């Protein structure tokens, strides 16, 4: 059986890993990644397309120049995309987050195993937790980079706006603000870092204790040597 200190520290890391897993599920499920306002010209007027979307679905509203709402519709992001660049980056972001989800699941399993037992295999111990937490954090950061690149580099909102309305002419400008679904990924990174720090302190303390027990006999008290 593991010591009380090991159980406590790995249980704390387990809570962080489970929190990371739940946060990734929320990020994938919610559509509040970005809100965009895309302005276009029309014959004798202009129109603003207001978009709120995530990786899978979104909503769009049309406003004429006077601010009158014309319509509100929902759409599937994959169905509205026509450019290979935007499609590939959207799929890449989803794949990266799914891999991060699997990494957090593995990390949760490793921390739970160490909280209730002492596995003999090295890769099931702190080394495995280091690996999968790091992978999860790095993949989440990659997703945080890929999505803005798609929105602002590939004009994702502009492409989606064309699918929400007809008779759109010249693109006049766009404005973007990222929603809570996007910023939750920062929480995922922090949770992974916190789990790594907890396991590092446990591992460092265990290593120091082991080295203390392995001191050469010349460092022992003289009365013990004489005995």
Over residues 150-162, the pLDDT tens digits come to 999 998 998 998 8
Contacts of 39 (CB under 8 A, 6+ apart): 46, 47, 48, 49, 171, 172, 173, 174
pLDDT the model gives residue 20: 94
* Mean pLDDT on 127-134: 89
| Higher-scoring residue by pLDDT: 213, 158 | 158
Tell me if 213 is assigned to some domain.
no
Which residue in 58, 55, 77 sits closest to 143, CA to CA? 55
Rounded distance, CA 132 to CA 88, Å? 26
In angstroms, rounded to a whole number, what is the distance separating the alpha carbons of residues 106 and 129?
8
pLDDT band at 145 (very low <50, low <70, confident <90, very high): very high
Query: Residue 112 above 70 pLDDT?
Result: yes
- Cα atoms in the 13 Å half-sphere on the side-chain side of 21: 15
Confidence of residue 91 (pLDDT cuts 50, 70, 90): very high
Position 227 in a domain: no
| Per-residue pLDDT at 211 exceeds 90 | no
Q: How many domains does the chain have?
A: 1
221: in domain: no
Res. 74: pLDDT tops 70: yes
Angle at 150 between CA 135 and CA 94, to 5 degrees: 40
* Statement: the pTM of the whole predicted model exceeds 0.75: yes
Task: Quote the domain boundaries for residue 42.
Answer: 4-205
pLDDT at 195 over 70: yes
Res 227: pLDDT: 44
Q: Are 174 and 48 in contact (CB under 8 A)?
A: no
Does 215 reside within a domain? Answer: no
pLDDT cut 90: percent of the chain above it: 46
Query: Is residue 192 included in any domain, yes or no?
Result: yes
Assess if residue 117 is contained within a domain: yes
Q: What does residue 81 show for φ and ψ, rounded to 5 degrees? A: -90, 135
| DSSP conformational letter for 218 | G
Residue 125 lies in a domain: yes
**166 domain-assigned:** yes
C-alpha triplet 87, 89, 95: angle, nearest 5°:
105
Residue 24: pLDDT band by 50, 70, 90 thresholds? very high
- Residue 77: is its pLDDT beyond 60? yes
112 three-state secondary structure:
helix
């Amino acid at each position: 059986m593991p010591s009380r200190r090991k159980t406590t520290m790995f249980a704390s890391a387990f809570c962080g890993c489970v929190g990371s897993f739940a946060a990734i599920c929320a990020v994938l499920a919610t559509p509040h990644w970005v809100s965009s306002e895309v302005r276009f010209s029309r014959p004798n007027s202009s129109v603003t397309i207001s978009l709120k979307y995530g990786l899978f679905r979104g909503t769009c509203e049309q406003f004429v120049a006077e601010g009158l709402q014309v319509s509100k519709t929902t759409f599937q992001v994959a169905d509205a995309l026509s450019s290979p660049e935007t499609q590939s980056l959207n799929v890449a972001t989803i794949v990266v987050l799914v891999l991060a989800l699997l990494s957090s699941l593995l990390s949760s399993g490793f921390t739970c195993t160490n909280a209730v037992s002492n596995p003999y295999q090295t890769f099931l111990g702190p080394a495995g937790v280091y690996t999968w937490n790091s992978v999860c954090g790095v993949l989440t950061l990659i997703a945080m980079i890929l999505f803005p690149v798609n929105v602002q580099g590939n004009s994702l909102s502009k492409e989606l706006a064309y699918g929400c309305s007809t008779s759109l002419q010249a693109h006049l400008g766009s404005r973007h603000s990222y929603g809570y679904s996007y910023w939750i990924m920062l929480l995922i990174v922090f949770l992974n870092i916190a789990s790594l720090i907890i396991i590092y302190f446990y591992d460092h303390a265990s290593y120091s204790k082991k080295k203390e027990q392995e001191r050469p006999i010349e460092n022992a008290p003289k009365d013990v040597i004489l005995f």
